[in-house]
Structure 1
Amino acid sequence: MRKIFLFLCVFALASSAAAGFAYNIDVTVGGVRYTGRTFGNGVEYRVGGKVAGYAKTMGGVLTYTAPNNATLGTVRKVGNYWEYRDARNAPIARVEELGGRHTYKSANGSVIGYAVPLGGRTEYRAGNNATIGSADTNTLPFRPIPLENYLKQQKKAPAAKGVCLTRVTKLTPGGQAVGAGLQLGDFLIAFAGKDWTIFDLLNASYEVMHPKVAEKVRATREDEHLVMIVYRPVPGERDHAGGAIVALAPMSPGKKGYTYTTAADCEYYTVAGSKKYAAEIEAIYERWLEQEKAKAEQPAGAPEKSPEDGGAPGKSSALNAALRVLELLAAILG
């Protein structure tokens, strides 16, 4: 019982350190040195003076994010230990309290490091007990394992080998975007009638690409009958695009009620697979354009193609539906 009580006290201190007590951390892993400092209810991490990620606590869960706010993973209490999970919610590591210090273990149970209180500070050690860093508090702040993995991947696979994509991460209930049919996870492709698509803006750097996307999106804010075109991924797809292009219902001028982020990777694609994934989405978009063009060229009121002709079964096309396709295609093609 005494050991369990000590364990809970230590972790309470660790959590509160991330949530409010000021501290600084300096660790080197996988050839990458990062520093961290607390702010508000979180921690800001830097590599070479540039922001590399964040940790924020909410409801007893620490969430780690990249500079563009893409989720990298979490750490939370599970039974008598704390468990790290990646962005796909798969366990990647755990922290256990043993002998007044933290022991870090991989998902398969092998020891990968320690956190040891020494006087008024914490010393971080690798699995072989070699010192890899420290924090200026003895409350044993958690190492940001999901962020460490992300930084090591970035070092092995430079961003220049991939591209960023822009997707919807938040929707305002009752907002225009929800009413138009936008869904969380949709990827921004284009706005009907504009002379650009997301494929014209692709870049390996978030810092380069996101401002360009933001500028294009802001320019549409006061447009009448704005039609947003998105790619909707299939749940669970990874580095392979199997979803569909969707043209949303027209939106009016003003705020649309959605938040988007531009990222080099997310749950749908990796840095290494991002170029291929983007190319597959572009191919799906091109096929969709051809299909819309074919619909527009079909006479109003003409019977839809039968399955034998390669079309879907159904009744004759309604006149207003045909006109809608013509208007949409005209807007897309300018």
Structure 2
Amino acid sequence: MSKTAFLFPGQGSQAVGMGKALAEAFPAARAVFAEVDDALGQKLSTLMFEGPEDQLTLTANAQPALMAHSLAVIRVLEAEKGLDLSASVAFVAGHSLGEYSALAAAGALSISDTAKLLRIRGDAMQAAVPVGKGAMAALLGAEWDLATEIAEIAATDTGLICDVANDNGGGQVVLSGDKAAVDRACEIAKEKGVKRAIPLPVSAPFHSTLMAPAASAMEAALATATIRAPKVPVVANVTAGPVSDPEAIRRNLVLQVCGSVRWRESMVWLGGQGVTRFVECGSGKVLTGIAKRLVAGSEAINIGTPEDVAEYTA
């Protein structure tokens, strides 16, 4: 029997106007945006709907904004389409901050707590490394083993940090660390025949060991957070496997700050469990494209607008 997994996007998928049509069409969406606004003491929804883009792109705003859009989609599907996550979805998974969205969707975290945790996470990640000191770059045409080798050589050559941050599959692996080390990795990548090495427009070296101060901040924040067992298993970024135990979830979210997002392995694992339908909830279609590439014969759709909701069938 075919299984469905719900996916939740990460940073980079935000865009001015996100969630606006959903809020105009559905009370359930408006309720989510109001809850997030109240939790943060900020009209984040106005920033999402109207911009300015440079403010929305700030890590501390982009992270809760993406979660808010994703959870608005979930609540609208529940209200309008009778979605029962535990009955119709086998697994949930989210890319980086999207793991928090997945946990909220599965009932492990409240929306308010998730918004507050993501604000802390965004602020802590931004503060961990001075602007300009860190960098990230995508290697296109490289798989995990080659990217790891390149990162290790760059770190040795420079005496600085260069880590594998994201394994997105389909020959796209992202490196993260000190700017000089990442720049050196891009040079090495070209020498080793990697198709392209593209510096990413990010404000900090996410998912590298330079994020250790942010991991400490999240350990403190998560220690007092209420985490319940999710209604469906969450595939964790750091293990690429399912987790349902609240204490394991807490540990994974701390490790995730500095650890690699093992997205390729997560998608391959889901395919191995019989998942053939992927539903990306929220902004953008990045995860939809990755799922189609990594799980042969799968169907992948995105739901972010009222039109998407109208077309959705469980």
Instruction: Provide the TM-score with structure 1 as the length reference.
Output: 0.29
Q: Greater CA radius of gyration, 1 or 2?
A: 1
**Higher-strand-fraction structure:** 1
**Higher-helix-fraction structure:** 2
> Which structure carries more relative contact order (alpha carbon 8 Å, separation 6+)?
2
